[in-house]
Amino acid sequence: MAKRDLTPKSENMSKWYTQVIQQARLADYSPVKGCMVIRPNGYGIWEHIQKSYQKYLDTMEVRNAYFPIFIPMSFLEKEADHVEGFAPELAIVTHAGGEELTEKLVVRPTSETIMYDMYSKWVQSHRDLPIKINQWNNVVRWEKRTNFFLRTTEFLWQEAHSAHATQEEATSVMYDALESYRALAEEYLAIPVVKGKKSESEKFAGADLTTTIEAMMPDGKALQSGTSHHLGQNFSKKDAFNINFQDENDTTQYAWQNSWGLSTRIIGALIMTHGDDDGVVIPPRVAPIQVVVASASKDEAVITKCQSLVSMLKEKGIRSVADVSEKTSLGWKLNESELQGIPITLILGNRELEQNQVTASVRYNKSKETLALENCIEQVSNLLEKIQTELFAAAQKRTQELSFEANSYEDFKQIMSTTRGFIKAFWCESELCEKQIKEETKASTRCLPFIDTKGSVSEESGACIKCGNHATHRWLFAQAY
């Protein structure tokens, strides 16, 4: 299907976003309200995000496992903040097998409780720690307003949960996890992000500290793209899940815990960050198909060479396919590649074959390059890396252009009513000011930015943007998805 009736992104990004996802065959509406069907083109991106992030999990010595999707309601009630935070979003099973259940079951909104019930069985001694387990799974949070990838009732993610003998070790792992998200977003998805900590009102239900990566979208709205939480001992204490152990002095201690998660929402960030008026643009490192070799002729020699090129590309680890269909024109093939965001399309026809060359059509900047067939594979490999680097640079430049400092509330409101974007501003950290700013400008505290990998922040002295009281930090504000 070639592109048609696609609203320009520059005119209406919201409408463009919904249309381009369907036209690029990334996802479609499900008969279940609020849910989506992730089609092969979209799921392929998720698979490569999984493969990319698994390397970081392996480095952190986090192992994969699987726990049930059904959680006893009583488990969520063991941690008061946790159940209160999720109560409006819960899907609850009351009947099964033709009978009313003795205890209601919650369809997994997150797995802290069912995993920690097992951790309490598995941990007796300090020698049983640390436990670091990850799940690649689905969760259900009953959303009232949904949008492809950004917010759906059911979504896919990874959620990792760790338990440690000391708070120092736990917080170190929490920051390592946050850094792994920054690396994934910037180095694989080419999305620049800001790392920082959430305010008390914005932190995860049941956490002592929530850290986040925040990305700026082209329309000036922020997108929370991954979070890492230090849970303290809130879930491990005796009145919760009783994850206790005997330390080296035979004294009973409670575990210190973390959880961190990144979901298919990051695909929404990718689409909005890199897409253009003509469709999706996918960074090469997570593109399911990195190169299409398209025939510009029906001649057997051309088709054979196209297929040969694909074989050579695959041998070098470049994900490629041949489009040699006689049923479609070259224009249709190029249009299709463009709409789907495939990084490079190699065009091979009789003229190219005679001149021992191939034309490379680069998706993100619409440029064309002539490559010699004799060293084509190496040139394609270099070109893919160049595309990856330039996509990140373009996104970083746009983020910088949408980043501001405000020293008065009037300036703050002016920015939020026009360009929007990230605003750094002093805030006294009172919930009342935070609430009033959000009500009056629709901007929320996104994070207090970190200046290193272990959570250090800049100490300053200033006046709260809202009330004028003394403030010691410039927080990052933005309207958000």
Residue 398 identity = R
Say if CB 225 and CB 193 are below 8 A apart.
yes
| The predicted structure's pLDDT at residue 232 | 97
Q: What is 289-382's CATH number, 3.40.47.10, 3.30.420.10, 3.40.50.800, 3.30.70.2190?
A: 3.40.50.800
Domain 404-478 - what CATH class? alpha beta
Is residue 278 scored above 80 in pLDDT? yes
Rounded to two decimals, the pTM is 0.95
Q: Where are the alpha helices (DSSP H) in 164-296?
A: 167-183, 265-274
User: 17-66 pLDDT, tens per residue?
Assistant: 999 999 999 999 999 999 999 999 999 999 999 999 999 999 999 999 99
User: Of 178, 168, 74, 170, whose CA–CA distance to 131 is shortest?
Assistant: 170
Question: At a CB cut-off of 8 Å and minimum separation 6, what does 450 contact?
Answer: 195, 196, 197, 211, 456, 457
Q: Do 447 and 422 contact (CB within 8 A), yes or no?
A: no
13-274 domain in CATH 3.90.1150.10? no
User: 284-324, pLDDT tens digit by residue?
Assistant: 999 999 999 999 999 999 999 999 999 999 999 999 999 99
pLDDT at 80: 72
In the chain, where are the structural domains located? 13-274, 289-382, 404-478
pLDDT digits (tens, 9 = 90+) for 181-227: 999 999 999 999 999 999 999 999 899 999 999 999 999 999 999 99
Per-residue pLDDT at 2 exceeds 60 = no
pLDDT band at residue 1 under the 50/70/90 scheme: very low
CATH topology agreement for domains 13-274 and 289-382: no
Would you report the helix, strand and coil content of the chain in percent, each value rounded to 5? 35, 30, 35
